[in-house]
Amino acid sequence: EAQVTQNPRYLITVTGKKLTVTCSQNMNHEYMSWYRQDPGLGLRQIYYSMNVEVTDKGDVPEGYKVSRKEKRNFPLILESPSPNQTSLYFCASSLSTVNQPQHFGDGTRLSIL
Amino acid sequence: KQEVTQIPAALSVPEGENLVLNCSFTDSAIYNLQWFRQDPGKGLTSLLLIQSSQREQTSGRLNASLDKSSGRSTLYIAASQPGDSATYLCAVEGNRDDKIIFGKGTRLHILP
Nearest-CA neighbor of A30 among A105, A93, A109? A93
> What per-residue confidence (pLDDT) applies to B51?
94
User: Who among B32, B97, B104 is closest to A42 (CB)?
Assistant: B104
What is the side-by-side strand order in the sheet with B4-7?
B4-7, B19-25, B72-77, B62-67, B56-59
Q: What is the pLDDT of residues A16-30, one digit of tens each?
A: 999 999 999 999 999
Report CB contact under 8 Å: A100, B101: no
Q: What is the pLDDT of residue B22?
A: 97
For A45, which of B51, B99, B103 is closest by C-beta distance? B99
Residue contact A40–B99, C-beta within 8 A = no
> What phi, psi does B24 have (nearest 5°)?
-130, 150
The model's pLDDT over A47-101, given as tens digits with 9 standing for 90+, comes to: 999 999 999 999 999 999 999 999 999 999 999 999 999 999 999 999 986 788 8
pLDDT on residue B97: 81
Residue among B22, B44, B32 nearest B2 (CA): B32
CA nearest neighbour of A5 among A20, A22, A29: A22
What does pLDDT average to over chain A?
95
pLDDT at B87: 97
Q: Quick one: pLDDT at residue A71?
A: 96
The tens place of each residue's pLDDT in chain B, 112 residues long, gives: 899 999 999 999 999 999 999 999 999 999 999 999 999 888 999 999 999 999 999 999 999 999 999 999 999 999 999 999 999 999 999 888 888 999 999 999 999 9
pLDDT at B41: 83
Tell me the C-alpha distance between A24 and B55, whole Å.
34
